[in-house]
Structure 1
Amino acid sequence: MNDKRPGVVTYLLLGALSLLFLYPIWWAVSSSFKPAAEIISDPLGFGLGRATLDGYRAMLADVPIGTGFANTALVLAIKGGMTMFFCPLAGYAFAKFHFPGKNLLFGLVLLTLMLPTLVLIIPLLLEMSALGWVNTYQALILPGSIDAFSIFWMRQIIAAVPDELMDAGRVDGAGEFGVYRRIILPIIRPGLAGLAVLTMMNVYNDFVWPVVAVNDERHQTLQVVLSTLAQNITGNRIGADFATVWSELLAASSIAMIPLLVVFVLLQRHFINGILAGSVKG
């Protein structure tokens, strides 16, 4: 039998590629602990003896990053919860039920995937304005909370669940929602985990819609706060130089990376299993 396990060269190559991809993160985090002047004078050097938290202290004083985190957490909790509740239900309906116009309706859902996000911004903004929702949490949460990709992905995963399992549940007296809750959900947990990670990444990194729908500081999400960080620093501190701006920018970016890194590390196995579960149809 041929041994097809990866060899030493493969591991060395993968290790080198990993270091290549991780270096920008290491540089950003390590530079955030440098004195501001050294970021410009010695951008590639780093010494633990010169490490300082001055950049973080100044950033927390100049930038409302706490407000950005709080707003992003609120939007993520509600919008992510709506995505995780309604999209699997819609996928279940498209995968396992037969009703008039199902294929046409599903085709219309898929058709929305072909529309660029920028095409939808003006109509959505006009709709939010007509409802009086500009500069509100409703404008940040409701648009896109039930999206075509999540429905399509859940439909592909649920379609692979054998109908015999569902029939057995119905014979035991379970209703349709009972079949979904007791049979479908336990089977598609890897797909749900993958959807949860993707949803968090999309909501956490979303910038275009929040910057259009909200223009007051009280409702700004983290990405909008980061986009205006340099302006906030120079506005709050007279005579702030280029090095100071970079020091606080790297400090804020390092803090902003933490949630996504933690979630991906903790859910990496479930995320990969979820991606694989949605890649084929049994």
Structure 2
Amino acid sequence: MNPSRRTVASIGAHTFLGAVLVLSLAPVVWAVVSAFRPPTEIVSHPLGLNLSTLTLENFRRVLDDVPLVQGFVNTAIVLVSKGTLTLLLAPLAAFAFAKYRFAGRGVLFGAVLVTLMLPTIVLIIPLLLQMKELGWVNTYQALILPGAVDAFAIFWMRQVIAEIPDELLDAARIDGCGEFGIFARVVMPLIRPALAGLGVLTVMNIYNDFVWPVVVANSERMATLQVVLSTLAQNITGNRIGADYATVTGELLAAASLAMLPLVIIFIALQRYFVNGILAGSVKG
């Protein structure tokens, strides 16, 4: 391809990607900007913008009307606890599947993969019955423990750990290192990029999880952020007599903007590790 054609192709590709970026970000930008606009203005002129009328009133009202802070706290507790368990136990299980030979290894790993094919809704009733028998309904245990060892996480970590040369592990054993020492001192440093990528995915999955929390934690005290957001309109109209459509819309946009902020910050801060983690183990050599 001559330079002129390469330049035209590059311009076309960048134009297309720019258009996709604008189309993807436009609704998000509109929602965040509109959260600072007066409710009546959002409804009457959805695409307008008057800088002189920007206000924090929607945010103040939604924090007064809805237990968003409690939802953030519950989500943070679940996120830290469940995320830690996933990032610790999934690599351990993957290490066993990738580097040890034992009876039934293929059957066990196949069973792990089968769970990836099961829809979440199929597991909800059995899990809920178990939580009821244990007395864990509306508790942090029920929100944290089910799904803490994720099948996809085990599969991904196994693929990455399988690429580590066995000679490195044998050398560590010759030096007198135990199996957990090998995992901590040899395996973990080598899989750090993939682990970081898994961490980003785990954070997003737990933060956005709705179906299981709404089933097992139906009290306001234990509601996670996504459950609080799902009942936002009802809470606003219930806590404020005469709340109209414009008021509800403004507070909904404010709540959505607040809920979006942590994920955006985490992804921007860890995007390099996320990309490296996605690529880790994808090239053999």
TM-score range, shorter chain: over 0.9
Query: How far did 1:54 drift?
Result: 0.9
Query: How far did 1:51 drift?
Result: 0.5
Residue deviations 1:227-271 (CA, integer Å, cap 9, x gap) = 011000000000000010010000000000011101111111110
1:254 corresponds in structure 2 to 257
Residue deviations 1:89-141 (CA, integer Å, cap 9, x gap) = 00000000000110011111111111100000011110000111111111101
- Does the 8 A contact of 1:113 with 1:148 survive in 2? yes
- Are 1:32 and 2:28 an aligned pair? no
2:246 corresponds in structure 1 to 243
Q: 1 CA distance for matches of 2:177 and 2:157? A: 22
TM-score normalised to the size of structure 1?
0.97
Q: 2 CA distance for matches of 1:65 and 1:13? A: 39
Summarize the alignment of residues 43-82 of structure 1 with structure 2, pairs less than 5 Å apart.
43-82=46-85
- Does the 8 A contact of 1:154 with 1:278 survive in 2? no
Aligned residues: 282
1:200 corresponds in structure 2 to 203
Query: How far did 1:151 drift?
Result: 0.6
Q: 2 CA distance for matches of 1:127 and 1:280? A: 42
Query: How far did 1:216 drift?
Result: 0.8
Summarize the alignment of residues 165-204 of structure 1 with structure 2, pairs less than 5 Å apart.
165-204=168-207
Query: How far did 1:18 drift?
Result: 0.9
Q: 1 CA distance for matches of 2:83 and 2:159? A: 20
- Counterpart of 2:212 (choices 205, 209, 212) is 209
Q: 1 CA distance for matches of 2:115 and 2:284? A: 22
- Does the 8 A contact of 2:35 with 2:58 survive in 1? yes
- Are 1:125 and 2:120 an aligned pair? no
Q: 1 CA distance for matches of 2:219 and 2:151? A: 30
Q: 2 CA distance for matches of 1:280 and 1:81? A: 28
Query: How far did 1:149 drift?
Result: 0.7
- Are 1:12 and 2:15 an aligned pair? yes
Taking every aligned residue pair, what percent have the same amino acid on both sides?
64
Partner SS for 1:164: helix
- Counterpart of 1:228 (choices 215, 228, 231) is 231
Q: 2 CA distance for matches of 1:156 and 1:2? A: 40
Query: How far did 1:12 drift?
Result: 2.2
Summarize the alignment of residues 82-97 of structure 1 with structure 2, pairs less than 5 Å apart.
82-97=85-100
- Counterpart of 1:22 (choices 17, 22, 25) is 25
- Does the 8 A contact of 2:163 with 2:281 survive in 1? no
Partner SS for 2:221: helix
Q: 1 CA distance for matches of 2:188 and 2:209? A: 28
Q: 2 CA distance for matches of 1:280 and 1:151? A: 19
Q: 2 CA distance for matches of 1:178 and 1:243? A: 60
Query: How far did 1:279 drift?
Result: 3.7
Query: How far did 1:215 drift?
Result: 1.2
Query: How far did 1:33 drift?
Result: 0.6
Distance 1:154 1:281, change over 3 A: farther
Query: Which ranges in structure 1 are unaligned for 5 or more consecutive residues?
Result: none
- Does the 8 A contact of 1:36 with 1:246 survive in 2? yes
- Counterpart of 1:162 (choices 146, 161, 165) is 165
TM-score normalised to the size of structure 2?
0.96
